[in-house]
Structure 1
Amino acid sequence: MSCPPWPKGKKLVHLDLKGAPPRAEYLHQLIELFSKLGVEGLLVEYEDMFPYEGQLKMLQATAQPAYSQGEILSLQEFAKFKGMEVIPLVQTFGHMEFVLKHRPMWGLREVAHCVGTLNPHKEEAVGLVMEMLRQVVALHPGLNTLHIGADEVYMLGEGEESKLWLASPGCTVEQLFLSHVTKVAKAIKEAWPHMTIIMWDDMMRGMSKDTLKASGLVGLVQPMLWDYSPNLDVKRTVSLLEKYCSASMSELWAASSFKGSTAVYTCVPSTQRHVENHLQWLEVAASLPANVKLKGIAITGWQRYDHLSVLCELIPVALPSLAACLQTLIHGQFNTEAESKVTQMLGVSSVEAETMERTSAVDSLFPGGRLAQLIVELDSLLKSEDIRFFENSMFVRGWFSPYQRQRKMVTPLITMQINKQASTYLAILQQKVETVTAEMVHLYPDSTAQEWIEEHVTPVMSPLERITEDIRICVKEMVP
């Protein structure tokens, strides 16, 4: 499929820092690469990595230090030097887990068991959001654009105060959502009249044109319509964009994905999947009537589905996907020429991380390329059936079942063979883990390496370790 290249408008890359925050030096290397790939701006979601001060200091990460003020200023200066605008993304309604998880903030939840949604009826809620924004804006000199999030506001309307509010005639959950976002947007415009405000669109998708027009949001915000599916519904997406435009929200954005949208625990992305998402977005852009203009596209790279979920694919292993997606937008298709540009720029043989091999003689590939290769190797090992389903093998199930282990009545000859195989697998995995860890801590905090190993490797190694320990105990009972 071939479409015109992506129309005028900025190509932003989303840096999701709420998990696996890159070391400052690695962030600079990434920005250098992004500039070569044609990126024109960064959508930066700091979350708990922002150096909040005063009463908000509790929001800072504890697993590793938040970025310093100097590091954040340096990031912006380098991005600007490379021709990129930096747009901070600060959640102001939904996905506020990193704020509302703290005990002093519990009273600001919409419902007690939903950590992500802010109670829109609390006066302190807007005050909290504005203080967060004030600190972020203060550390971004010359800032012109803010993204206020507002996606996936789960359980809205389920709190006791909301139920009372909704009992009044004509009050709906849609209006409840719109009233809070409008309040925040107006407060931003009052504080910084020049500020452009972007927000996610998903909570408005089911709303009528008239509801949006009457909300007071028109002229205050620019919706960013996100869809990360390789099977994106082009007609429906065009229709949604047309609806926003007809509601006088004519300045619109798109959001695609280069990683972090396949499965919550994915380690290695499929470049093809993400390229297909961009091909669909190209079709959307080509199908829009002249009066609907896109201001740009944010290529998202989620690091977690939310603050409390596990790590998705790390940035290094997803850089071939990002490069391929950008070339798809630039060429209007992912043809041989686009693929060749990606492999040449990154010094690899394939755009798929799982099959890429070094083609350059130099020591390093793209920034983080060595770690990407090591993760692919380890991920392949972890997925191998012999290791993952070791406990279900014929010998373990036949000669070392839970029943046999409990009674310590086993066949030593066979169990010692099982032990030898399990120990071999453990030794191979341990060696790979040490190599991955040593490389990872160059680019990420030690806490990220520990988390990644405990999430992705430990669940596979633990059963093997239990078997070897149980065999040691059982054989001791059976052999003189």
Structure 2
Amino acid sequence: MKCPPWPKGKKVVHLDLKGAPPRVEYLHRLIEFFSQLGVDGLLVEYEDMFPYEGELKLLQATAQPAYSQEEVLSMQELARSKGMEVIPLVQTFGHMEFVLKHRSMWHLRETSHCVGTLNPHREEGVKLVMEMLRQVVELHPGLNTLHIGADEVYMLGEGEESKLWLTSPGHTVEQLFLSHVTKVAKAIKKVWSHITIIMWDDMMRGMSQETLKASGLVGLIQPMLWDYTPNLDVDKTVSLLQKYCSAGMADVWAASSFKGSTSVYTCVTCTQRHVDNHLQWLKVAASLSPSVNLKGIAITGWQRYDHLSVLCELMPVALPSLAACLQTLLHGQFCAEAHSKVTEVLGISAVEVEAMESLLCMALRTSAANSLFPGRRLAELIVELNSLLNSEDIRFFESNMFVRGWFSPYHRQRRIVTPLMAMQIRNQAATYLVMLQQKVEAVKEEMVHLYPESTAQEWIEEHVSTVMAPLQRITEDIGACVKEMVP
């Protein structure tokens, strides 16, 4: 089904910097690339990569240096020169893991075992949030729009102070949530009256129209409704947006996804999944009543599900998906013309990164084509390595007939083996290890050009080490067993 193109408002790309923060040179290349794709703005989630100062300096990353003030300003300057608005995203309630993980901040958690949720009863918590916001706003001269997060406020109402508060007549968890975000939004407006405030909508989805009207949020914030699934429920989403509008919040945003929402540990992006998500969003936009003012869409690219989870797909393997999603919004469908535009602009043969041809002939790889796909070589290497890591011969090596037949746990424990068979098994495992190591070295060499050393190390430990470990154990165990059997 063909829908009208995305109707109006900004197309904003989400830069999630709480994992695999690009080196500044690569970040600039990405901004250039986004500009060529027709992006109108950046939703930048700095987390621990922001250069917090003073008492907040402890929030800065330790695995790699946070961006400097000069680097944050240069990123904005480049974006502005390309006609893109920069919208910082600062979490102010849920997903505050990068703050509340620090021992000196433990007392500000809602519950001791939930690292992400701020206790809404402590004035110190609001002061902390406002100081974070002050530093971010001041390092974004001319800022017009700010995103205050407030999604997935887990365990809210479970803390001792909240339980006591909830015993008062009429007090509910919904009101507890609304009172905190209203307090933060009012404090922002008091200092920066001109700033537009966006927040995630999920904590408000179950609230009645009357509750929202009475919350004090009307006129203070613009909800951003997020849904990253390929089978997004169009009718339900339209109904939610209409509800926000009827409650007085007519200015609303959508949030889709081009990467980082398939599974928490996905390594290679599936373009079709994300195109399908955008096709559903196009149906939503086409079904809204004129009273709903759709301000734009944030195309999210999560790097971690939260601060303490593993890395999702790195940006290079997701750029074909981003280009395809933007073309889908532009055309109202992912038609032949949209497909052709993506392959032409990126200089690739297919929109699925796994199906891209290996390196084209050098004669075809002009510098212009290369620059239109920043990080292409790393994307290709990751796809090649991922394919090897997921091959049955390697991933299920311990389950193959020879290992199970001649080098089972029984054999290992008793150190009784057929030396000839054991050595063949060992040689095969060693061959696979060498193949993997060569691919890993190539990936690492390319990755450290674009990302900090710590990102390369984490990525390898997450995706490669767990696959190589059984092979390494088998080669070591066979060596020890053969010593017992051969003079």
TM-score (norm 1): 0.99
Amino acid at match of 2:403: V
Match of 1:80 in 2: 80
What is the CA–CA distance in structure 2 between the aligned matches of 1:72 and 1:293, rounded to whole Å?
Answer: 31
Match of 1:452 in 2: 459
Quote the offset at 1:361 in angstroms.
2.6
What is the CA–CA distance in structure 2 between the aligned matches of 1:474 and 1:206, rounded to whole Å?
Answer: 62
What secondary structure is seen at the aligned counterpart in 2 of 1:295?
strand
Match of 1:327 in 2: 327
Match of 1:155 in 2: 155
What is the CA–CA distance in structure 1 between the aligned matches of 2:127 and 2:274, rounded to whole Å?
Answer: 39
Match of 2:116 in 1: 116
What is the CA–CA distance in structure 2 between the aligned matches of 1:230 and 1:269, rounded to whole Å?
Answer: 13
Quote the offset at 1:398 in angstroms.
1.1
Match of 2:139 in 1: 139
Match of 1:226 in 2: 226
Match of 1:240 in 2: 240
Amino acid at match of 1:431: Q
What is the CA–CA distance in structure 2 between the aligned matches of 1:362 and 1:428, rounded to whole Å?
Answer: 30
Is the counterpart of residue 29 in structure 1 residue 29 in structure 2?
yes
Amino acid at match of 1:470: D
Alignment of 1:60-71 (within 5 A): 60-71=60-71
Amino acid at match of 1:374: L
What is the CA–CA distance in structure 1 between the aligned matches of 2:204 and 2:18, rounded to whole Å?
Answer: 25
Match of 2:292 in 1: 292
1:385 aligned residue (368, 383, 392): 392
Match of 2:211 in 1: 211
Alignment of 1:127-206 (within 5 A): 127-206=127-206
Match of 1:361 in 2: 365
What is the CA–CA distance in structure 2 between the aligned matches of 1:385 and 1:80, rounded to whole Å?
Answer: 48
What is the CA–CA distance in structure 1 between the aligned matches of 2:86 and 2:402, rounded to whole Å?
Answer: 58
What secondary structure is seen at the aligned counterpart in 1 of 2:262?
coil
Match of 1:423 in 2: 430
What secondary structure is seen at the aligned counterpart in 2 of 1:168?
coil
Any unmatched runs of 5+ in structure 2? Answer: none
Quote the offset at 1:477 in angstroms.
1.1
What is the CA–CA distance in structure 1 between the aligned matches of 2:287 and 2:353, rounded to whole Å?
Answer: 32
Amino acid at match of 2:351: V
Amino acid at match of 2:130: M
1:464 aligned residue (471, 478, 482): 471
Is the counterpart of residue 477 in structure 1 residue 484 in structure 2?
yes
What is the CA–CA distance in structure 2 between the aligned matches of 1:280 and 1:163, rounded to whole Å?
Answer: 40
Quote the offset at 1:407 in angstroms.
1.3
What is the CA–CA distance in structure 2 between the aligned matches of 1:73 and 1:439, rounded to whole Å?
Answer: 27
What secondary structure is seen at the aligned counterpart in 1 of 2:353?
coil
Quote the offset at 1:6 in angstroms.
0.3
Segment of structure 1 superposing worse, 338-347 or 392-401: 392-401
What secondary structure is seen at the aligned counterpart in 1 of 2:454?
helix
What is the CA–CA distance in structure 2 between the aligned matches of 1:39 and 1:290, rounded to whole Å?
Answer: 24
Quote the offset at 1:403 in angstroms.
1.6
Alignment of 1:26-65 (within 5 A): 26-65=26-65
1:139-196 Cα shifts (integer Å, max 9, x gaps): 0000011000000000000000000000000000000000000000000000101010
Amino acid at match of 2:100: L
What is the CA–CA distance in structure 2 between the aligned matches of 1:383 and 1:336, rounded to whole Å?
Answer: 31
What is the CA–CA distance in structure 1 between the aligned matches of 2:365 and 2:204, rounded to whole Å?
Answer: 51
2:421 aligned residue (410, 414, 419): 414
Quote the offset at 1:231 in angstroms.
0.2
Segment of structure 1 superposing worse, 429-438 or 390-399: 390-399
What is the CA–CA distance in structure 2 between the aligned matches of 1:356 and 1:90, rounded to whole Å?
Answer: 36
Segment of structure 1 superposing worse, 32-41 or 357-366: 357-366
Structure 1 stretches of 4+ moved >4 Å = none
What is the CA–CA distance in structure 2 between the aligned matches of 1:216 and 1:293, rounded to whole Å?
Answer: 20
Quote the offset at 1:401 in angstroms.
1.1
Amino acid at match of 1:442: H
Match of 1:438 in 2: 445
Alignment of 1:398-409 (within 5 A): 398-409=405-416
Quote the offset at 1:402 in angstroms.
1.4
Any unmatched runs of 5+ in structure 1? Answer: none
The RMSD of aligned alpha carbons is 0.7
What secondary structure is seen at the aligned counterpart in 1 of 2:141?
coil
Quote the offset at 1:362 in angstroms.
2.4
- Percent sequence identity over aligned pairs: 80
What secondary structure is seen at the aligned counterpart in 2 of 1:457?
helix
Match of 1:102 in 2: 102
Amino acid at match of 2:189: K
1:351-395 Cα shifts (integer Å, max 9, x gaps): 000001255432636100000000000011111111001011111
Match of 1:304 in 2: 304
